[in-house]
Structure 1
Amino acid sequence: MNLSNTSITLSLIMVSGIDQLHFVSGVVGESCMNVTYTHQSICALKGSTVDISCFYTHPSWHNVTEVSWFSKWESGVTTDLSLNPEYADRVEYHRQTEKDSTLRITDLRESDSTEYKFRFTTDEARWGYSFPGTTLSVTGFQVEVTPKWRSESKTLSCITTCTLSNPNPIYIWYKNGQHRDESTSPQYKYSVSNDYGDSYSCAVKGHEDLHSPAVCFQGQSCNRVTYTKRRICVLKGSTVDISCTYVSYYSTTSSFWFRSDKSTPEDLTTDPGYAGRVEYPGTYRGPSSLRITDLREEDSAEYRFTFKTDNFEWGHSFPGTTLSVTGLQVKVTPAAEGQKTLTCITTCTLTDNPTYIWYKNGQCLDEPTSQQYSSNTLVVLGHSVDSYSCAVEHHEDLHSPAVCKYELKNYST
């Protein structure tokens, strides 16, 4: 082999802690096709956001025609993650240069744990799918209490199913919903107290909203609050129910909901900004609900629940449910020649996968169950003199402003 006419590209990959080299050879002056992943494996928290990145090369005379990320491949057939319903509204592709790509997945779920690969196509060739990509493991926190038997002191361990990729995490410990301590170790020792109603939870700094479920320090019954949903997106003018379940070791004397952006917790039923729009329809014990009617954009906030006993008050450190209030707007973009695509857009993704309804000149186009009109997009003639509007099923009175003839003919993105 004449080494003066060849070059060797070394791609270093970590596999099970052992360095392995993939050799890709090519002629000097040429850039062969190759993909190198930034990480061979990533461990991320459930509910968080992860970036999976790679760098790729190709001959300088090739033009890239398509790039995509995928997680499943059968007989050479791959599905672009951006088109996969399981990742709807949770996947984005980013790039900083012409030779890198980043897959961003938000609101991670345990079902997202799999191997992800990058693929690109040029006008001359396509990168294959046989090389390993990046394996993602999604985990949550759990608190383990040892020893199980009665002891003067116990050790609390904040455990995950994989080792977090976050370097040198700082663990945060909560007692009865209140920030108690921080440590670089996932283990913490506590002396046994006489209060058997205490509960403990853990998180890592920077992801305090992803704390573990509360566990009882002694026995099986202890103080805790669990929110039904962490995020809710609803329409301006509608009504929302925000709920949680709570357990009090002692008899409860009072309970209320408050906004987390207040300097001190304030019962929403006494807040002038919510006068006549707030009620607590839940039972005194068990599930507790906050109902807000005639929603306004300024109601967008995080809402938390607290309760009191004669000698105890649930802490205010835990995150609650974040409410986002949005209106509807029709966005117009060019489609095929002589056509426009209408999209019913919101500032957040509406909760519970709503069915959309389209109106033409104030008249419903079809039944809301129709496949043609149940999505948030609609294709119309660009030169139409008609006006269009959209709404969500069961909230027909909250439709968007109409898009008229002028906008259809002249709107551009």
Structure 2
Amino acid sequence: MTLRSAARGFLAFLLSVPALQGIDQWTVTYSSSNVCALRKSTVDINCTYEYPDNVLYHPTKVYTLWFTKVSNDQPVDLQGDADYTGRVGYSCGEDSCNGSRCHGTCTLRIKDLRESDFAVYEFRFTTNQPRGEYTVDPGVTLFVSDLQVKVSFPDPTDPTRAELECHSRCGLAGNHLYTWFRNGENVGQGVNSWVQPQSGGSYSCAVEEHNLSSPLVCKSTPQYADMIPDVMDLLGKIT
């Protein structure tokens, strides 16, 4: 073996090592495994990803997509999915490399959420490196919730005064603007509202920034007012 051929073989061996070491260095990390958002609102789903900085294949090109469906063993890009037309977009930062690792971020934004958007969302990135394709399963489960009104009677001795709470299984944290309506007319703001059911009326709440309203509750009937003395008498016997 000549010195030149030996050196060529040694060089090929050294250059192949990073690719083998990088097989287990591909990662995707989601900021949360579950996300809940209101119907008609906008939601962001975030992730970070990493891959080996392989000098053989500089510059590394990275292709990103989000998906919920698979067709012919290939993910269906949400940006080409008819169910999401005009409602999805990606915001992916420029990758940075430090030492032997490269890092990137990508955010999926879905607007005008629908109940049918309830699904598991997964992220995939593909590079021009050998075996340079990675997806983490499972992804992020998105729950889509409507508004509901919870009715309670905090004072068990006074069934004539009810507390209404604008409620969602998402928790509705944050500075949302809640508005209450009685028979379609604005009667106040806040998460809670106190009402007298026997006075009649149908109530609903809304989150105005999302143009979303709850179903009507407390539709009064003449019989309800007649029941109040009997309820008070029954409570008196229990206590």
If the length of structure 2 is used for normalisation, what is the TM-score? 0.66
- Aligned amino acid, residue 274 of structure 1: Y
Higher relative contact order (CA 8 A, sep 6+): 2
Work out the CA distance in 1 between the residues paired with 2:26 and 2:187. 51
Matched, 1:254 2:63: yes
Q: Which runs of 5+ in 2 are unaligned?
A: 1-16, 54-59, 96-103, 225-239
In the alignment, which residue of structure 2 is the partner of 1:52? Answer: none
For 2:35 and 2:84, the matched residues in 1 are separated by: 18
Whichever residue aligns with residue 388 of structure 1, its letter is: Y
Cα distance change on mapping 1:409 and 1:359 into 2, 3 Å: farther
The structure with the largest helix share of the pair is 2
Taking structure 1 as reference, are residues 290 and 194 closer, same or farther at Cα in structure 2, changes over 3 Å only? Answer: closer
Q: 1:293 aligned to 2:111?
A: yes
**Who is 1:36 aligned against?**
none
CA shift, 1:226, in A, is: 1.1
Are the counterparts in 2 of residues 341 and 380 from structure 1 also a CA contact under 8 Å?
yes
* Structure 1 residue runs without a partner (length 5+): 1-191, 200-221, 367-372
What amino acid is aligned across from residue 237 of structure 1 in structure 2?
K
Cα pair 1:382 1:409 within 8 Å, conserved: no
TM-score, L = length of structure 1: 0.40
Q: Deviations over 1:194-246 (max 9, x none)?
A: 523233xxxxxxxxxxxxxxxxxxxxxx4211111221111111111111111
CA RMSD of aligned residues (A): 3.0
C-alpha distance in structure 1 between counterparts of 2:84 and 2:136, whole Å: 23
Larger radius of gyration: 2
Count of matched residue pairs: 187
1:230–1:320 contact (8 Å) kept in structure 2 = yes
Deviation at 1:253, TM superposition (A): 3.3
Matches within 5 A, 1:61-210: 194-199=19-24
Equivalent residue in structure 1 for 2:205, among 390, 393, 406? 390
Hey, what's the Cα distance between the residues in 2 that align with 1:341 and 1:355? 19
Query: Would you say the 8 A contact 1:390–1:399 is kept in 2?
Result: yes
Instruction: State the shift of 1:406 in Å.
Output: 2.4
Tell me the percent identity.
36
Matches within 5 A, 1:240-389: 240-250=43-53, 251-259=60-68, 264-285=74-95, 286-310=104-128, 311-335=130-154, 336-346=158-168, 348-350=169-171, 352=173, 355=176, 357-361=178-182, 362-363=185-186, 365-366=188-189, 373-374=190-191, 377-389=192-204
Structure 1 residues 318 and 307: alpha-carbon distance in aligned structure 2, compared to 1, 3 A threshold: same
One-letter code of the match for 2:188? Answer: L
Q: Give, in whole Å, the separation in 2 of the partners of 1:326 and 1:247.
A: 33
Give the stretch that moved more between structures: 231-240 or 384-393: 384-393
